Structure 1
Amino acid sequence: MRGVYMSRDQRHEIYDTLSDAWNRATSRIVEIKEEKRRKRDEWLQRQEERKRKYEEWRERMESNIERWENNIEKAEEYISRLEEQIDRLEEEEANARTDEYARIFYYHLFLFSIQFNCSFDLLVCCFTW
Structure 2
Amino acid sequence: RIRKAAPVYPFLSDYRRVWEMDLCKDAYAELKTFFRHADPQHIREDKIFTKLGYIDIQHLASRVGADVLVGVGLADTVCPPSTQFAAINKMKTTVRTEIYPDFGHENLPGMHDKIIRFLSAL
The structure whose residues are more often strand, as a share, is 2
What TM-score, normalized to structure 2? 0.20
What TM-score, normalized to structure 1? 0.19
Say which one has the larger Rg.
1
Greater relative contact order (Cα < 8 A, sep 6+) = 2
The structure whose residues are more often helix, as a share, is 1
